[in-house]
Structure formats: C-alpha cells, structure tokens
Amino acid sequence: MTTSRRTLILTTGALLAAPRLAAAQETPGVTATEIRIGSTNALSGPASTYSVITKCLTAMFQRLNDQGGVGGRKIAFIAYDDAYQPPRTLEQTRRLVEQDKVAFLFNQLGTPTNSAIHRYVNQRKVPHLFLATGADKWANPKEYPWTIGWQPSYRTEAQIYAKYILEQKPNAKIGLLYQNDDFGKDYLHGMKDVLGARFDAMVKTATNEATDPTIDSQIVSLQAAGCDTLVCGIIPRFAAQAIRKVHDLGWKPMMFMTNVSVSAGAVMQPAGPEKGVGLITSDYRKDQSDPAWANDPGMAEWRAFMAKYIADGDLSDNNYTYGYGAGSTMIQVLRQCGNDFSRENVMKQATNIAPMDIATLLPGVQVQTQPGNYNVIRQMQLQRWDGKSWVRFGKVIEGANT
Amino acid sequence: MNGLAHQIVAGIATGGIYAAVALAIVMIYQATHHVNFAQGEMATLSTFIAWSMINAGMPYWVAFFATVAVSFAIGVAIERLLMRPVQNAPELTHVGVFIGLLLIIGNATGWIFGYTTKSFPSPFHSDKPLAGGLISAHELGSTVVTLAVLLLVWAFFRFTRLGLAMRAAAYNPRSARLVGIRVGWMLALGWGLAAAIGAVAGMMVAPIVFLDPTMMLGILLYAFAGALLGGIDNPMGAVIGGFVVGVLENLAGAYVVGTELKLTVALAIIIGVLVVRPSGLFGRVVYSRV
C-alpha cells in the first residue's frame, strides 16, 4: 500500500506544481542558469555501436560548460536508450518533452526511430535537430518545418554519383540496384533529380528486398541489359555479394556503392579486397587513419578534445568524428541564439547557418542551412578502393538540391 | 537467349540453398510431424559455432564434423528439455514454443557473435570461373553435398531399422509404442538429425550469402515453399522443390512480375500448393478412416 500512497502523493504534487512551473518558465527547458537538451540513441541492442556518438556529444557539452557555457547558461544533455526500437523512441521522446521538459531534441539516431516521432515533434513544435540518419525525408521544410537532418542524404549522394557519371560517360547505360524501401528509393530519386527526362532511356533498375537470400539474379539481369555502369543502394551483406558477383561474372562496369556499405571490415574483406578494386563511393568526413590529416589543424583540434575528454575512446572509430561534426554544428546554433533560447528562435537559427567549415569534415565540405533548404551537408568527395584502402580523388562535388 | 540461360543457372545455384534447408524441414516433419519455425535460427547458430572453431584454427573438415555433432546434441537437448513437457499440448502450444525458440536463438546469436557481416570459408575452390562466373565452385560443391545428404536421409529412412522406427513413431505413436519402439527417443533423434542437417545447410549457405544472425530469415521462407511444393514428407521432392523454386523465382523476377514481387512468388507457391495439391508434387496423399 505504501507504494501506491507515495505515487498518489507524488502525482498530486506534480499536478499541483505543473501549472506554476509552466507559468514561471516561458521557454520550456531554459532557466536562468541552464538549457536542457534531449536525445535518444541505441545505447543497447544491435545498433549500439552508435552509442559512442552520445558519449562524444556529452563530452562536447561538458567542454562547452567548462568554457563557461553559452548565453550565461550551462547545458544539461539528457540522452535515453531506445535500443533502436521505434516504439521506445516515441516513449522516451515523450518523456523528454513532457516530463523532462527539454528545450529541444538533438541528434536522435536512426531512420525508423526518428520516423516514429516525426509527426509528434512537429505537432508539438519541438525543434528536432541534426538527426543521425541519412534519409532524405528530414529535408522537408514545407510539411515538417521542425525537423532537420545533418549528414548528406542518400539522395544527395545519388545526385553526386549521377553528376559524376554524366561528366565521365555522357552516354552511359546505367544499372541501378536498390533496396525496395525508404533507404534504397532515395537512390532512385537522387538519380532522377539529375538525369530528369533522360532517366528512362539511360537507366535500367532492379530492386531487392532485405529478406532476399541473394541478389545474383538482379546482377545477371543488369549485365544482360547491357549496362556499363552500376549504382548500388543496398545494405552491407548484399554489397559484399554484389562486389563478388560482378567480379566473378567478369563484368567490369564503373561501379558505385552507397557509402553506408563500404566498411573495409564488414564489406570489402568478406567480398574479397582484390575483387573490389576500382569500386567508387563517397565521403564527407576526414578519415582519421589517412596520413594526409596527420598535421591538419581541424583533426588536431579533434585529437586534443579526445585526449582530454574521452581518453579511453577508440580513435579509429569514425563515429567520433561524426559526433564532433554534429556537435560543433549544434554549438554554433546555440551561439547564434544570443539570449533567446525559445523554440522558435532555436529553429530559426538552426535553419539560418551561414556556410561554415567543421574541423572533422573534408576541406570544401561545408555546413549550411536556409529556411527553404534543410540539406545541411550537400557536398562530398568521391573515393576509390585500391585493394587495401579508400583513396580520395577529384574535387568536392555538390548535390543537386541546392 | 543468353540472359535466359544465365537466369536459369543462377536460379539453380540459389535453388541449391533452398534445397538444403528444405531437407532439414522435411527431416523434422518426418520425425515429429511438426514444422519447426526455429530451424533457420538453429542452423545459423550452428554456422556461427563452426565459424568460431575455424577462427580458432581448426581445419575446415574437422570443424565441419564437430559442428554437425554439436548441433545434433543441441537438437536432442531442445527436444528433451523444451518439447517433451509440451508433448501432449495442442498444436498452438507447439507453434508458440517454436516462435519463442526462433526469437531466443536468433537474439542470443546476435548477442554472442554481433551483427556485423562475416565471411565464411568454403572448402571448394576453383582457379577459373565456372560457366562464365555464373556458378562458383562453392555453389557446385554445396549442391553435391546437398545431394549426398539427400541420399543419406533417403537410405536412412528406407533401409535402416532405426529409420523405419522413426517413421512409425511419427505416423502412429501409439502403435509404435506397442511394438516396442521408444517413441520419446525417436522424436529426440529426429530433432537431433534435423539440427545436424540444418548445420550442414548453414555451412553450405554461409559462404554464398555471408554470415550474420539474420542469414536464414528469408531463406527459410523460400525453403518452406520448396518443401511444400515437393511434398513435405518426401526428401527427394523437397530437394527438387527447392531447385524449382530457385529457378522459378528468378524467371518470374526477371521476365514476368519484376524484382519487386520476387518474394511474392514464394508466397504464391505456398498458397497455391496448399489450395490445389496439399500433398505437394511428390508427396503421398494420406487418407484416414473416421
């Protein structure tokens, strides 16, 4: 009985206190000394390799607080675990918004997870900033003005490949293999954005389901159709299969692979590193293992941060360079806010970032936003597999959504 | 046309995968008259066990047979510990246990070995590509292995007293018990053999589709379609069914319905067979007198 009585007292107390709190606090999540920011991430479960992003962001806000905070206030960063399960993301997000009363949400991880709260945060008009997902749907200011992504979308990536193909092989016959879902269709849309009316004549498409055992049949079809270029928007397991099959068939198309499926360990090694020579992908970050950045000031800044705040962090994990980039963007927005941390102003500043360089991004790749364009990063550089590692080539290319 | 021939050869290669898994489904059905939904997950777990042994430095074939033995033991243990207590419970209870097993084994595999895609070695190698790269030495080798397993299963049920006893225990447990067959152990043996065949299938499939905890998820559905098509109580039929599904799926995907509806072909086969000819192409029609 004691529990229920305690609950009752607490609930009553909370109910009585709530209206007074709201009255005393005009801007949710912001007091004279503190700004509360909420986030969710897969801190457990199959996607938990991404949990280091939260670790990185927490440390970055710690550094900001050590430097005196922003607008005279310290940042309280609250991150909950959703285990990459959309229903839990919704539950935790509601907890952040309704109980913790955060000022806004930042860098929540995952496409299905953010999809689950997309409507909720927009109905509530809570800024839903710089999400950790590459889907294109976050750049839709007309229908979802309170949501904005960060990294280049899969669609932007496909636009960049299409631009490069047109430049190198204006008469290419392109085979496009994509997964039949939101992720894969971004590649279809990106190719269409650039090729426009020529799409039907130039491109032969094939799709696969995430549950398909193999994609051999699709590869064989595209080869039989006479394609000399192949663009793949598929998950790592099928990426490895595609690289191997194309090689075994003796087919030598100019081949592009989505940059989420090019991990040296999880894709290139299983496929056979020698079979992927010449494969093209793209990146927007500096690869910390690349000797070209040994004396780079941006990377030196990142290394100093890691040494001081995350001494036990794995320096080869590129989630840390990702987190540093997203965190730097967030801090820039907070600085731009001045003394007004209302949700309206936070959103206004987040969508009015003048082009800026970020320590961990490639030279020429800039972060920028406009109220009508929510694609935060629009440029990438191509890179080619040489049998051992990825080698950057050419200049930075900008997508078509500009 | 060249493209057509290519699709058929690629289909036979994929069909070999379905045939191997279909054989495991038939095995458990022969022995227990149940279809085990966790069959695919059990096979994946076995493959990870083999992967660990090979990574620890064991020669391939030693790891292969050790895994088959371990899987057999796991299969027997599952029957003894989990299935036996619900032996006389209604069908729905069994389905519940199978789905529970699927979730538990699937997630445990991911928890222990991680979700990253891994490569799995193949014992079959060839210096030059076969049939213009359409079929790999491994795909050819694994088809031979599947056919060898088929031959063993067929001979086991046909020529050995144990095989006969297992069939009797599945078809008519009460009479079997009356003639002195230890029905409980026959069921456990059936589970063990099915798990062992599943392990072989897993190790043959993994070099083709790459190893991760969800490896078998899609394959099981196609294998089930193959097993039903050939007749779920006929090992030979299931293997032929597996190959037919592989080829049919490719041809339909490439020329008829498009790649978006490839998976639907497998589902259509399942429903079609159940409606038109529930016993499958090669299955026996069983009449029971009431």
Write the DSSP assignment of A280-316 as a string of letters: EEEESB--TT-GGGTT-HHHHHHHHHHHHH-TTS-TT
Residues A95 and A187 in one domain: no
Please report, for chain B, the start and end positions of each structural domain, with discontinuous segments joined by +: 20-214
The residue behind tokens 């100019």 is A254
Q: What is the pLDDT of residues A8-47, one digit of tens each?
A: 555 555 555 444 444 444 789 999 999 999 999 998 877 7
Please state, in angstroms and rounded to a whole number, the distance separating the CA atoms of residues A199 and A247. Answer: 26
Per the prediction, chain B carries an average pLDDT of: 87
Q: What is the pLDDT of residues A91-138, one digit of tens each?
A: 999 999 999 999 999 999 999 999 999 999 999 999 999 999 989 999
Please state, in angstroms and rounded to a whole number, the distance separating the CA atoms of residues B28 and B191. Answer: 6
Contacts of A212 in chain B (CB under 8 A): 218, 262-263
Residues A145 and A218 in one domain: no
Residue A189 lies in a domain: yes
Q: What pLDDT sits at residue B276?
A: 86
Q: What pLDDT sits at residue A22?
A: 42
Domain boundary among A232, A251, A283: A283
A248 with B11: Cβ contact below 8 A: no
Which of A51, A220, A249, A267 to mutate against chain B (most B CBs within 10 Å)?
A: A220
Chain A residue with Cα closest to B121: A270
Query: Would the pLDDT of B35 be above 80?
Result: yes
Which of A217, A219, A257, A263 to mutate against chain B (most B CBs within 10 Å)?
A: A217
A241 with B210: Cβ contact below 8 A: yes
What is the model's pTM?
0.81
Q: What is the pLDDT of residues B50-102, one digit of tens each?
A: 999 999 999 999 999 999 999 999 999 999 999 888 888 888 898 899 999 99
Domain boundary among A283, A304, A335: A283
Residue A197 lies in a domain: yes
Looking at residue B117, its amino acid is: T
Tell me how far apart the terminal alpha carbons of chain A are, to the nearest angstrom.
62
Residues A279 and A161 in one domain: yes
Please state, in angstroms and rounded to a whole number, the distance separating the CA atoms of residues B19 and B241. Answer: 7
Sign of the Cα pseudo-torsion (B56, B60, B66, B72, in order): positive
A269 with B254: Cβ contact below 8 A: no
CA neighbor of A280 nearest in space, from A164, A178, A400, A156: A164
| pLDDT band at residue B129 using 50, 70 and 90 as cut-offs | low
Q: What pLDDT sits at residue A1?
A: 43
Of A166-180, B130-144, B198-212, the range with the lowest mean pLDDT is B130-144
Count of domains observed in chain A: 2
Contacts of B262 in chain A (CB under 8 A): 209, 212, 217
Beta bridge partners of A254: A229
β-pairing, A34-41 vs A104-106, is parallel
Is A95 strand, coil or helix?
Answer: helix
Read off φ and ψ for residue A320, nearest 5 degrees: -75, -35
| pLDDT band at residue B138 using 50, 70 and 90 as cut-offs | confident
Residues A185 and A244 in one domain: yes
Looking at residue A384, its amino acid is: R
Q: What is the pLDDT of residues A300-315, one digit of tens each?
A: 999 999 999 999 988 8
Picking from B18, B132, B217, the nearest residue to A250 by CB comes out as B132
Q: What pLDDT sits at residue A11?
A: 54
| Residues B82 and B97: beta-carbon distance below 8 Å | yes
Looking at per-residue confidence, does A47 or B164 come out higher?
B164
For the ranges A201-205, B10-14, B186-190, B253-257, the maximum mean pLDDT occurs at: A201-205
Q: Which residues, other chains included, contact B268 with Cβ-Cβ below 8 Å and sequence gap of 6+?
A: none
Domain boundary among A283, A303, A325: A283
Q: What pLDDT sits at residue B65?
A: 96
Residues A330 and A226 in one domain: no
Per the rule left: phi > 0, alpha: psi between -120 and 50, beta: everything else, A290 is beta
Write out the two tokens for B282.
């090669």
Residues A355 and A303 in one domain: yes
Q: What pLDDT sits at residue A197?
A: 93
A217 with B17: Cβ contact below 8 A: no
Beta bridge partners of A208: A179
Contacts of B7 in chain A (CB under 8 A): 217, 220-221
**How far is residue A2 CA from its own chain's centroid?**
47
Coarse DSSP helix, strand, coil percentages of chain B, rounded to the nearest 5 percent = 75, 0, 20
Please state, in angstroms and rounded to a whole number, the distance separating the CA atoms of residues B6 and A222. Answer: 12
Contacts of B218 in chain A (CB under 8 A): 209-213
CA neighbor of A366 nearest in space, from A332, A337, A334: A332
Domain assignment of residue A225, given as a range: 154-283
Please state, in angstroms and rounded to a whole number, the distance separating the CA atoms of residues A88 and A185. Answer: 26
Of A125-134, A230-239, A268-277, B27-36, the range with the lowest mean pLDDT is B27-36
Q: What pLDDT sits at residue A401?
A: 61
Give the ipTM. 0.84
Measured from the Cβ of residue A56, the count of other Cβ atoms closer than 10 Å reads 26
Write out the two tokens for B182.
């230890």
For the ranges A6-20, A190-204, B138-152, the maximum mean pLDDT occurs at: A190-204
CATH classification at residue A166: 3.40.50.2300
For the ranges A9-18, A46-55, A178-187, the maximum mean pLDDT occurs at: A178-187
Residues A177 and A257 in one domain: yes
Please state, in angstroms and rounded to a whole number, the distance separating the CA atoms of residues A150 and A134. Answer: 8
Residues A349 and A301 in one domain: yes
Average pLDDT of the residues in A62-78: 96
CA neighbor of A148 nearest in space, from A337, A375, A365, A325: A375
Write out the two tokens for A97.
């918004």
Query: Would the pLDDT of A359 be above 80?
Result: yes
Strand order in the sheet with A128-129: A74-81, A34-41, A104-106, A128-129
**How far is residue B213 CA from its own chain's centroid?**
16
Q: What is the pLDDT of residues A316-333, one digit of tens each?
A: 888 999 999 999 999 999
Looking at per-residue confidence, does B277 or A168 come out higher?
A168
Of A199-208, B149-158, B279-288, the range with the lowest mean pLDDT is B279-288
| Residues A40 and A82: beta-carbon distance below 8 Å | yes
Q: What pLDDT sits at residue A21?
A: 44
Residue A9 lies in a domain: no
**Is residue B80 exposed (0-12), middle (13-18) or buried (19+ Cβ within 10 Å)?**
middle
